[in-house]
Amino acid sequence: MRRTMTTRPQSVCTKAFGLAVLVLLMTAGASLILGAGPVPIADALAALGGGGSEEARFVLVELRLPRLAVGITTGLALGVAGALLQALTRNPLAEPGLLGVSAGSAFAVSLAIMLGASTVTLTTLVAQGGALAGCSFVIAAARMKGLGNDPIRLVLAGATLSGLLLALTSLLMLADQRAADEIRFWVTGSIAGRQWPQLLAALPTLLLGGVIVVAVAQPLASLTLGERVAVGLGQHPGRVRLLVVLAVALLVGAATALAGPLVFVGMVVPFLARALAGADIRKTLWLCLPVGPAVLVLADTVSRLVAAPSELPLGVVTALIGAPVLLAIVRARRMPTL
């Protein structure tokens, strides 16, 4: 168990990164070739090479390609946000979906939908505002004596917040039946039918989040050594925490605007990344870049294969994948504070 918590030699990390990129390429390929529709695999392969039937080219270029791009972006954002939250709360179970960050984001979006919001740009900003509120709660809870030191109690507090926010979202649905369908769709999480405009609307703030992550990775790594050490190394813990919270809110908000509140992705991805690269947050973040998209794109491909000609909501699949991982982490007692 300790093995995964130690830093590994650089060559191992490079290999792990290469492996993760390879897996991502394979899942991306699969998501273009496989779908709920009537396009045969051979036809889809031909379309990938520029040939194939007109129908296959349409499905690949107009439906599956934007969806893949959205899936990659969402997975990347949730994976990185999960790793940041886990490092910040020193809790391997922390993740935006469990701690109420995504739920806060979804609640804000639901409220906006009910009030008549329609533009995709607005939705992204609203979702990020909600995520920021949820994130602030998590940090406040994590810094509370007793609560923050115990990973499971922090997760329970987060689950309570998530439950409360989801109940409030249900209340909104009862109040406005018209918006209910749209909100219900949101709350389950899906990237079906997502198109380029939604992705473009989320990109600027995502990039901003990315820049903050790059700037904050080194100080955050020092902070995980303990507050005193960090101060000794010339860091300002308060400032670092604030920036991390901001980055998480930007990333999770954008991801929720694109796909709804997806649970467990932010936990599974850093878990896999740490298993591959060790506990150093900088390496975890690197590994999250290919692992996050691979996990999400894989889940999305499964979501459209199991229930064809309809689709399973992506949120259901990520929960099905994530719940056993959560149990495994808790049962294997991989519960050291990070």
Partner 1 sequence: MTLYEGALDTAIATGAEPVGAVITRGGTSVASYIQPLADDIEIVGAPGETNLEAVLASQPDIILAPGWTSPQQYRLLSLIAPTVAPDVPPYQSDSWIRETRIFARALGREAQGEAAIDKVQRRIAEVAKLVAANVPEGQRDAAIVRWMPQGALVMSPGIFSATLLAAVGFDVSDAGLVNAGRPHSHPLSEENLSAIDQSWLFLATLNKDGKEALDAASRSPAFRRLQAVENGQVVAVDGQEWTSASGPLVAGQILDAVAAAVSGRKP
Residues that bind partner 1 (CB under 8 A): 35-39, 55, 58-59, 62-64, 177-178, 180-182, 184-186, 188, 190, 192-193, 195, 304, 307-311, 313
* Rounded least distance, CB 310 to partner 1, Å: 4
* Rounded least distance, CB 186 to partner 1, Å: 8
287-317 burial, b at 16+ Cβ within 10 Å, e below that, comes to bbbbbbbbbbbbbbbbbbeeeeeebbbbbbb
What CA–CA distance (Å, rounded) separates 316 from 261? Answer: 11
* Rounded least distance, CB 38 to partner 1, Å: 7
Q: Is 191 or 326 the residue whose CB approaches partner 1 more closely?
A: 191
* Rounded least distance, CB 180 to partner 1, Å: 7
Q: Is 198 or 222 the residue whose CB approaches partner 1 more closely?
A: 198
Contact status, residue 254 vs residue 209, Cβ threshold 8 Å: yes
* Rounded least distance, CB 197 to partner 1, Å: 9
* Rounded least distance, CB 36 to partner 1, Å: 4
What CA–CA distance (Å, rounded) separates 140 from 149? Answer: 12
Residues in the chain: 338
Q: Is 64 or 283 the residue whose CB approaches partner 1 more closely?
A: 64
Q: Phi/psi at 192 (nearest 5 deg)?
A: -65, 135
Q: Is 37 or 336 the residue whose CB approaches partner 1 more closely?
A: 37
Directed axis angle between helix 265-277 and helix 281-305, to 10°?
Answer: 130
Cβ-based neighbours of 234, under 8 Å, separated by 6 or more? none
Q: Is 151 or 189 the residue whose CB approaches partner 1 more closely?
A: 189
Q: Is 57 or 283 the residue whose CB approaches partner 1 more closely?
A: 57
Among candidate residues 194, 146, 145, the one with its CA nearest the CA of residue 304 = 194
CA 51, chain centre distance (Å): 35
Q: What is the radius of gyration, based on Cα positions, of the chain? A: 20
* Rounded least distance, CB 185 to partner 1, Å: 4
Cβ-based neighbours of 79, under 8 Å, separated by 6 or more? 265, 266, 269, 270, 273, 288, 289, 291, 292, 293, 295
Q: Is 250 or 259 the residue whose CB approaches partner 1 more closely?
A: 259
